[in-house]
Amino acid sequence: MCEFHQGSHSHQTIDPAAAEMIEKANRENVETTWDRFEQQKPQCGFGDLGVCCRNCLQGPCRINPFGEPKEGICGADADLIVARNLLRTIVGGAASHVDHSYMALHCLKEAAEGKAPYALKGADKIKSVAAKLGIATQGKSDNALAQEIVRAALADFSSYSDEPMGWLKATVSPGLLEAWSKLGILPKNPDREIRTAMHQTSMGVDGSPINLLLSSLKMGLVDGYAGLQMGTDIQDILFGIPYPVKTEANLGVLSHDKVNVVVHGHMPEVSEKIVEWARKLEGEAIKAGAAGINVAGICCSGNEVLMRQGVPLAGNYLSQELAIITGAVELIVVDVQCFMPSLTKVAACYHTKVVTTTPIGQLPDAEYIPFTPENADVKAQETIRMAIAAYAKRDAAKVQIPTHKSEAWGGFSVETIVQALSKLDAANPLKPLIDNIVAGNVLGAVGVVGCNNVKAVQDQQTVEMVKDLLANNVLVVATGCTAHALAKYGFLTPAGAKKYAGEKLLAVLTAVGEAAGLGGPLPPVLHMGSCVDNSRIGDLLGALAGYLGVAIKDLPVAASAPELQHEKAVSIGTWAVALGVLTHVGVVPPVLGSPLVTKVLTGDLEGLTGGKFLVETDPHLAAEGMMAHIRAKRKALGI
């Protein structure tokens, strides 16, 4: 422990705070993810191409793309193996999001029945979700309505019928329903779809790569509507619809004299309670000699509490170990998804406590404080008190907090965006945006989403690509770890508009920002939240398409995951292409071993849904590719 020796690092991040902490890790002999990446090199070529199969115990089998063998022991060829592996990856992503939304649903159920200490803060969202589900609202209390919403969601999870998922039907346009129905990809009960896809990909079932690719699209919709959409709708009901907040981002948000508590993972039921009790127990921290309690966020937990509470962001995926390496974090609390198993090893080199909170997300050397909706207040207090106790053990000699941080605005829900635009046209809030797109002041819009990936220099592809888009008057919205990335370099500020936006885009951002009372331009990148909040981007696209009377596939828009790593990013991307959106990925997914799958995903798919993948590791070419697509869509619309 703390005795790792490694060679020199070159070029891992463009984030000066991260670079400073990597240097500190080297000095203190603490191993980081980049060291382990070096140890993995060279990574397996078969795995990289997606042509390794372990779906039965006769394997592993692998296909040689340049010669023999061309088939696995059972006769599966490269196309089949790649298509099966891809569907399993998307199942992994969809299952993560659907389970996330199910956990939120459980919390809402307990809260609405008065069994869990969560106020339903999103009264407006209760009404809008009830309305879209066709639940009559008149004369009913928020709690009664929430219970009906819970029943509607549970009906999807227990559905035995062949009817498509209710939540999906309630959310999308009739045009999309029809298109997906024709393709045979409308999902039914989401749990059943996940089971069926695991079955379909097991040894000796589906031998048709095309059929498997269609199931992949269906699984993208499972993610989109039982994961992202249901998750966001329910979280907004529980914790409130986000509205604009100003905060700060990067490791410099950690405090020298306060108890630092980092929330990491994805579940706002945990992170919101941590924030609440950190505020309530501040007096105890002061008694213990600290100046207070400072909560900061990593990954999507960070995004959730930024969006609704203005909590600062400590860092994105690749910065999670580095936060501990500052020596100033008393406690890091995780729930599910995206926390590295290495955290406890890094924490052992400092005084940092690692707390796990869910039965499925445990780390052997962490403290396990099992949170449930019912006991969340008690467990959050226990967690905060553990952090306060750890403060006394902070070793001043080991503390080095980078000074880097940037101002960052967040909270751009669709409701916020519409509210800001309504200051220009109260009756028709989307009209000013559409008018500016038609006039060419806004060339189009790109949703930049997803992760960091150790295969790419941290934040570099995201930042370089977004610079090009903004300079060419493309509006950018962001979620997930790319939102963190852009936050760190000032893209989420009014000043960022002046620095990065093209002249025409700047004029539009200024007009909207001033009308909305911000006293300056809107940020050129609108932070729309966590990865489940990608549903907000879907809602916005649906609203724009509906307003114009066209399909989403006809809009001058694109999506991009420049540094994706997680299976969830692949399933979200698949949902986006099913919606008809050109979706760029900046890290090559393991599909190139199948010419057929590659051709369908990057070409033929367009004929089916209107969307397809653009694979490009050069950020400038990626921006160019998306802008070429946007220009073509404008031309087709006659604008």
Q: Which is nearer to ligand BF8, 319 or 510 (CB)?
A: 319
Which listed residue (480, 562, 593, 611) binds ligand BF8 by CB under 6 A?
480
CA distances (Å), 399 to each of 17, 28, 147, 349, 402, in order?
14, 12, 48, 12, 10
Q: Which is nearer to ligand BF8, 481 or 587 (CB)?
A: 481
Q: Shortest distance, CB of residue 631 to ligand SF4, whole angstroms?
A: 44
Q: Is 239 exposed, middle or buried (0-12, 13-18, 19+ CB in 10 A)?
A: buried
Is residue 416 a contact partner of residue 242, using CB atoms and an 8 Å limit? yes
Q: Which is nearer to ligand SF4, 76 or 485 (CB)?
A: 76
Which listed residue (28, 33, 64, 74) binds ligand SF4 by CB under 6 A?
74
Q: Pattern 51-80, binding to ligand BF8, x per CB under 6 A?
A: ------------------------------
Distance CA 455, CA 508 (A): 36
Residue 53 contact partner, candidates ligand BF8, ligand SF4, none, CB within 5 to 8 A by sort of partner: ligand SF4
The residue count for binding ligand SF4 (CB under 6 A) is: 13
Q: Shortest distance, CB of residue 597 to ligand SF4, whole angstroms?
A: 15
Distance CA 582, CA 592 (A): 19
Residue 63 interacts with ligand SF4 (CB under 6 A): yes or no: no
Residue 208 interacts with ligand SF4 (CB under 6 A): yes or no: no
Residue 51 interacts with ligand SF4 (CB under 6 A): yes or no: no
Strand ranges, E, within 390-441: 406-410
Distance CA 228, CA 382 (A): 31
Which listed residue (444, 450, 593, 611) binds ligand BF8 by CB under 6 A?
450
Give 539-596 as a DSSP string: HHHHHHHHHHTS-GGGSSEEEEETT--SHHHHHHHHHHHHHT-EEEESS--TTTT-HH
Give 108-153 as a DSSP string: HHHHHTT-SS-----HHHHHHHHHHTT---TT--HHHHHHHHHHHH
Residue 338 interacts with ligand BF8 (CB under 6 A): yes or no: yes
Residue 527 interacts with ligand BF8 (CB under 6 A): yes or no: no
C-alpha neighbours within 13 Å on the C-beta side of residue 591? 25
Q: Which is nearer to ligand BF8, 531 or 540 (CB)?
A: 531
Residue 288 contact partner, candidates ligand SF4, ligand BF8, none, CB within 5 to 8 A by sort of partner: none
Partners of residue 400 on adjacent β-strands: none
- Which sign does the torsion angle of CA 77, 83, 84, 86 carry? positive
Pairing of β 474-479 and β 293-298:
unpaired
Which listed residue (217, 481, 497, 516) binds ligand BF8 by CB under 6 A?
481
Distance CA 489, CA 496 (A): 9
Measured N-to-C along each axis, helices 414-422 and 503-515 cross at an angle, to the nearest 10 degrees, of: 80
Q: Shortest distance, CB of residue 55 to ligand SF4, whole angstroms?
A: 4
Window of 68-76, 361-369, 444-452, 467-475 that interacts with ligand SF4 by CB under 6 A: 68-76
**Lookup: tokens for 252:** 């410099």
Residue 53 interacts with ligand SF4 (CB under 6 A): yes or no: yes
Which listed residue (59, 92, 117, 292) binds ligand SF4 by CB under 6 A?
59
Q: Which is nearer to ligand SF4, 61 or 557 (CB)?
A: 61
Distance CA 591, CA 489 (A): 33
> Of residues 194-223, which lie at the interface with ligand BF8 (CB under 6 A)?
none
Which of 432, 455, 450 minimizes the C-alpha distance to 442? Answer: 432
Distance CA 208, CA 202 (A): 13
Residue 300 contact partner, candidates ligand SF4, ligand BF8, none, CB within 5 to 8 A by sort of partner: ligand BF8
Measured N-to-C along each axis, helices 209-222 and 190-200 cross at an angle, to the nearest 10 degrees, of: 160
CA distances (Å), 281 to each of 92, 278, 285, 404, 544, in order?
38, 5, 7, 28, 45
Window of 70-78, 150-158, 168-176, 388-396 that interacts with ligand SF4 by CB under 6 A: 70-78
Which listed residue (73, 119, 131, 136) binds ligand SF4 by CB under 6 A?
73
Residue 570 interacts with ligand BF8 (CB under 6 A): yes or no: no
Residue 566 interacts with ligand BF8 (CB under 6 A): yes or no: yes
- What type of residue is 104? A
Residue 86 interacts with ligand SF4 (CB under 6 A): yes or no: no
Which listed residue (22, 61, 185, 477) binds ligand SF4 by CB under 6 A?
61
- What type of residue is 346? V
Q: Distance from CA of residue 503 to its chain's centroid? A: 30
Which listed residue (9, 24, 28, 56) binds ligand SF4 by CB under 6 A?
56
Residue 317 interacts with ligand BF8 (CB under 6 A): yes or no: yes
Q: Shortest distance, CB of residue 14 to ligand SF4, whole angstroms?
A: 40
Window of 29-37, 138-146, 404-412, 564-572 that interacts with ligand BF8 by CB under 6 A: 564-572
Residue 474 contact partner, candidates ligand BF8, ligand SF4, none, CB within 5 to 8 A by sort of partner: none
Residue 286 interacts with ligand SF4 (CB under 6 A): yes or no: no
Q: Which is nearer to ligand BF8, 269 or 282 (CB)?
A: 269
Q: Distance from CA of residue 562 to its chain's centroid? A: 13
Any idea what the Cα angle at residue 305 is, between residues 528 and 518, rounded to 5°? Answer: 55
Q: Which is nearer to ligand BF8, 261 or 451 (CB)?
A: 451
Residue 55 interacts with ligand SF4 (CB under 6 A): yes or no: yes
Is residue 304 a contact partner of residue 282, using CB atoms and an 8 Å limit? no
Residue 225 contact partner, candidates ligand SF4, ligand BF8, none, CB within 5 to 8 A by sort of partner: none
- What type of residue is 361? G
The residue count for binding ligand BF8 (CB under 6 A) is: 15
Strand ranges, E, within 207-292: 245-249, 259-264
Residue 245 interacts with ligand SF4 (CB under 6 A): yes or no: no
Residue 58 contact partner, candidates ligand BF8, ligand SF4, none, CB within 5 to 8 A by sort of partner: ligand SF4
Q: Which is nearer to ligand SF4, 77 or 284 (CB)?
A: 77
> Of residues 103-162, which lie at the interface with ligand SF4 (CB under 6 A)?
none
Residue 492 interacts with ligand BF8 (CB under 6 A): yes or no: no
Residue ranges in contact with ligand SF4 by CB under 6 A = 53-56, 58-61, 72-74, 76, 203
Residue ranges in contact with ligand BF8 by CB under 6 A = 266, 299-300, 317, 338, 450-451, 480-481, 530-531, 565-566, 568-569
